Amino acid sequence: MRLGLFTVADAYADAPGSPEDRLDGIVRLAETAETAGLHSLWVAEHHFHDDGVCPSPAVLLAACAARTRRLRLGSLVSVLPFHPPVDLAEQYAMVDRLSGGRLNLGVGSGYLAGELAAFGIDPADRRARFDAAYDRLLAALRGEPIQAGGPQTPPVRLNVRPVQRPHPPVWIAVQRREALPFVARRGASVALIPYATVAGLDELASEIAEYRAALPPGTAGEVAAAVHVYVGEETAPARTAFRRYVESRIASGSTHLVAKGERDPGHVTPEGIERSGLAVLGRAPEVVPRLEAFARAGVDELLAIVDFGALGPELVRSSVRALGQAWRDHGGAAR
């Protein structure tokens, strides 16, 4: 199992610094992740609120690419219904080119009601918009002609192609179990957010098995899962920050987390999420065995969410360094 980082880029009015400082901190986090020997850094796309202050993952990943040499750089996700697919194809082709072929392209359809409303998208139309944009995005990245301005415009090709061919590896984010066969049939890898969707590791393993069973023969799809992680001797600050994070996600109307709470309120409290194994906070000897459980569940790449709930940047970087050291000392985990 590979070990990377995922940041939602959440910001808080009473935290030191500004949203702009938060973005600069993520670039520094990429440097720390590379130095710590981790595999990747992925960033979320959000708009018009402080629960996520990165409206353009491609721009932030390009900045991270300039300050790293080995680290894989991913979007989790680029929200396809919000953008013309040719624009995304051009932007992410440039990120892959500028990074020397280090892009992981994660895509999704969006899930926050406020963002969908702001872009004038009916939630019922998300799937159809995603499907149309997905096919055109990949066609453009493959170098095929597409009509950038609609059916009456002449076909065009990208003048900057990605390094990775036919296109960078693709993950589709899934928060509804019934979408897993859809992703598998496309031959795409899948990205999961377990704390917001499942009750525990057994249910996560069952979802992963269902996804793998639906993959076309000969297709090697991968599973990435994002999990809150903190490594340190004193965990009280991390648990305070985790509570703040969970409460802010519920307040923002995170659809799937709210639905999970309606099924069982105990599974959406910070304590309940940690007790179920879907958040891992503690000293290094405690953390590594708990992370190995995700490898046994079928996860190929665990994405540690480390900079949550206004946790101080020094604590975050210390946690990342300790996580990388502990993972190397243990030799990682193999299924």
For the record, the structure tokens of 199 come out as: 């009750």
Instruction: Give the model confidence (pLDDT) of 225-256 as tens digits.
Output: 999 999 999 999 999 999 999 999 888 878 78
Q: What is the pLDDT of residue 253?
A: 76
For the record, the structure tokens of 252 come out as: 């923002």
Q: Scan for tokens 């939602």, then name that residue.
A: 8
Instruction: Establish how many alpha carbons lie within 13 A of residue 14's alpha carbon, considering only the half-sphere containing its beta carbon.
Output: 3
Q: Scan for tokens 């004193």, then name that residue.
A: 234
**Nearest residue to 63 (alpha-carbon basis) of 9, 134, 121:** 9
Positions in the chain whose pLDDT score sits under 70: 332-335
Q: What is the pLDDT of residue 332?
A: 67
Angstrom distances, CA of residue 311 to CA of 25, 49, 155, 317, 318: 12, 19, 48, 10, 11
What does the DSSP assignment read for 148-217?
TT-TTSPPB--SS--SSSSS--EEEEE-SGGGHHHHHHTT-EEEE-HHHH-SSHHHHHHHHHHHHHHSPT
Angstrom distances, CA of residue 181 to CA of 28, 195, 202, 211, 270: 37, 21, 19, 6, 30
Q: What is the pLDDT of residue 335?
A: 37
Dihedral angle computed from the Cα positions of residues 11, 12, 17 and 23, in that order, rounded to the nearest 10 degrees = 0
Q: What is the pLDDT of residue 60?
A: 98
The answer to whether the CB of 26 falls within 8 A of the CB of 60 is yes
Q: What is the pLDDT of residue 230?
A: 98
Q: Scan for tokens 């990342």, then name that residue.
A: 320
Q: How far apart are the first and last CA of the chain?
A: 7
Q: What is the pLDDT of residue 333?
A: 47
Domains of the chain, each with CATH number or no CATH: 2-330 (3.20.20.30)
The answer to whether the CB of 226 falls within 8 A of the CB of 316 is no
User: At residue 138, what are phi and psi to the nearest 5 degrees?
Assistant: -70, -35
Q: What is the pLDDT of residue 334?
A: 37
**Nearest residue to 69 (alpha-carbon basis) of 34, 40, 28:** 34
Instruction: Give the model confidence (pLDDT) of 146-195 as tens digits.
Output: 999 878 899 999 999 999 999 999 999 999 999 999 999 999 999 999 99
